[in-house]
């Protein structure tokens, strides 16, 4: 230490040659070693096996349920057939074109269910299932969440089942189908939120249109 430094209590400054040392005239606020280190970027996850397998399971559950319901309406698995479905719609307050509506219902469930299982045109398929389940919830709202047991022992179905199925379809609108799907390379798989919003609007419009035009 020089005589001048000893007299005035000044510490010697470091040269900028290495190790974060600084020049005598360099401001103290530039001493932070972290300022010269580039921020480390987080790795981009390209594959998440758990998430994609989970979405596949959810798609198969929701789409498979809709598909089997549609086949049941067409008479498979002991189903009522289109005439029986039309009678059921009439019992639920539909008074116009019940046979046509029965066919639309069955074909929509089969088509949308199959597409959702495959993960193909997923937003449109999920929106169609959401429209059907939303209509069912509206029709069964007076029965309640749980089935209603009548005096003669018959049960009127509540809206628990369509509500949960619709909620799952709604979730798939915003999560996308996952990578184990035909839609893996599509825009709506990579950025599902805008398509999810459009799907919700389409489902709401379809449900309102059916209730207005056919009841």
Within its chain, how far is the Cα of 71 from the centroid?
A: 25
Angle between helices 192-214 and 98-118 in degrees, nearest 10: 170
Token digits for 91?
Answer: 């019992």
pTM: 0.76
CA-nearest of 124, 137, 202 to 167 is 137
Largest CA distance in the chain: 110
Helical segments of 92-159, H only: 98-118, 122-139
Question: Phi and psi dihedrals of 155, rounded to 5?
Answer: -110, 135
Asked if residue 42 belongs to a domain, the reply is no
Q: What is the DSSP string of 3-49?
A: HHHHHHTPPPPPPTTSTT---TTS-GGG--GGGGSPPPPPPPP---H
d(CA 87, CA 79): 13
- 90 and 115 share one domain: yes
7, 82: one domain: no
* 187: in domain: yes
Residues 104 and 190 in one domain: yes
Co-location of 114 and 26 in the same domain: no
The pLDDT tens digits along the chain (215 residues) read 544 444 444 544 444 444 444 445 545 444 455 454 555 554 444 557 889 999 999 999 999 999 999 999 999 999 999 999 999 999 888 988 999 999 999 999 999 999 999 999 999 999 999 999 999 999 998 888 887 876 666 777 888 999 999 999 999 999 999 999 999 999 999 999 999 999 999 999 999 999 999 98
Residue 18, in any domain of the structure: yes
Residue 143 lies in a domain: yes
If asked whether residues 9 and 73 sit together in one domain, one would say: no
User: Could you tell me if residue 123 is inside a domain?
Assistant: yes
What pLDDT sits at residue 215? 86
Q: Is residue 171 part of a domain?
A: yes
pLDDT at 149: 76
Residues 30 and 101 in one domain: no
What pLDDT is stored for residue 25 in this prediction?
53
Domains in the chain, number: 2
Q: What pLDDT shows up at residue 41? A: 56
Is residue 85 domain-shared with residue 189, that is, in the same domain?
yes
Q: Are residues 106 and 69 in the same domain?
A: yes
Q: Please indicate, yes or no, whether residues 7 and 60 belong to a single structural domain of this protein.
A: no
- Tokens found for residue 114: 């199959």
For 156, list phi and psi in degrees, rounded to 5.
-100, 125
Q: How many CB atoms lie within 10 A of CB 125?
A: 30
Q: How far is CA 184 from CA 14, 104, 169, 180, 189, in A?
A: 57, 29, 18, 7, 6
Distance between CA atoms of residues 183 and 152, nearest Å: 49
Q: State the residue range of the domain holding 14.
A: 3-36
Quick one: 151 and 203 in the same domain?
A: yes
Q: Is residue 88 part of a domain?
A: yes
Residues 152 and 195 in one domain: yes
Based on the fold, state whether residues 16 and 108 are members of the same structural domain. Answer: no
The reply to whether 44 falls in a domain is: no
């Amino acid at each position: 230490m020089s005589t001048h430094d000893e007299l005035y209590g000044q510490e010697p400054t470091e040269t900028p040659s290495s190790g974060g040392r600084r020049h005598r005239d360099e401001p103290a606020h530039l001493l932070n070693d972290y300022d010269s280190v580039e921020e480390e970027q987080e790795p981009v996850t390209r594959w998440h096996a758990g998430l994609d397998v989970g979405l596949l399971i959810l798609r198969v559950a929701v789409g498979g349920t809709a598909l089997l319901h549609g086949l049941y309406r067409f008479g498979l698995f002991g189903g009522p057939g289109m005439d029986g479905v039309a009678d059921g719609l009439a019992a639920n307050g539909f008074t116009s074109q019940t046979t046509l509506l029965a066919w639309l219902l069955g074909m929509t469930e089969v088509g949308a269910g199959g597409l959702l299982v495959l993960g193909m045109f997923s937003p449109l398929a999920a929106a169609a299932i959401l429209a059907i389940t939303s209509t069912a919830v509206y029709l069964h709202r007076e029965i309640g969440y749980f089935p209603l047991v009548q005096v003669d022992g018959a049960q009127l179905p509540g809206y628990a089942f369509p509500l949960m199925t619709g909620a799952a379809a709604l979730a798939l609108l915003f999560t996308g189908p996952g990578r184990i799907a035909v839609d893996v390379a599509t825009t709506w798989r990579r950025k599902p939120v805008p398509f999810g919003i459009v799907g919700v609007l389409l489902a709401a419009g379809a449900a309102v249109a059916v209730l207005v035009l056919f009841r």
